[in-house]
Structure 1
Amino acid sequence: MGMFGSGALAEAISLVVYSVVAAVLTIGGLFVEYTSVQYLGTGEQVVAFWLAAIGAVLLYAGLYGIGYKKLLARVS
């Protein structure tokens, strides 16, 4: 199968997928947190706190759930 065996190819693809998912969740979380701060500045506190909670979940999922637990575990 060339340079990669089927196991190594599957591992490389899963690393790429986990990296992309972690990056999307983290960037999405940062964007939602930024939007939360904008709503807080306009006085919409309920919306701001909901967005802050959603952003925190996205950041947790991207950085810890996927990035640390899945991606880092596969690399090390």
Structure 2
Amino acid sequence: MGTAIPELLAELLPLAAYTIAAGVLTVIGFAAEYASMQHIGTGETTVAFWLAAIGCVMLYAGVYGLGYQKVLARAFGIEQ
């Protein structure tokens, strides 16, 4: 009975860390995409394309890499 809480924490802590990391990467990705649109509007296309590429990578890593493959797989016990 006494080992239930440490086992629960051992399962929840990585899940919480992956969830936070996925959220941070997704927010940074959206911010980079937004900044890219702002630079397109001012005519700085080189900077805009770099920011768009970085934003795509961050969104991919946050939404798919961590969010889908790690968080949902751990939360619902999906085998990969």
Q: What is the match of residue 64 of structure 1? A: 64
After superposing on structure 2, the runs of 4+ consecutive aligned residues of structure 1 that deviate more than 4 Å are none
Q: How many residues align?
A: 75
Q: What is the match of residue 20 of structure 1? A: 20
In the alignment, structure 2 segments of 5+ residues that lack a partner are none
> What whole-Å deviation, never above 9, does each CA across 1:6-45 have from its counterpart, x for those lacking one?
3321111011100100000000000000000000000000
Distance (Å, rounded) in 2 between the aligned partners of 1:69 and 1:2: 28
Aligned-residue sequence identity (percent) comes to 53
Q: What is the match of residue 45 of structure 2? A: 45
In the alignment, structure 1 segments of 5+ residues that lack a partner are none
Cα root mean square deviation, aligned = 1.2
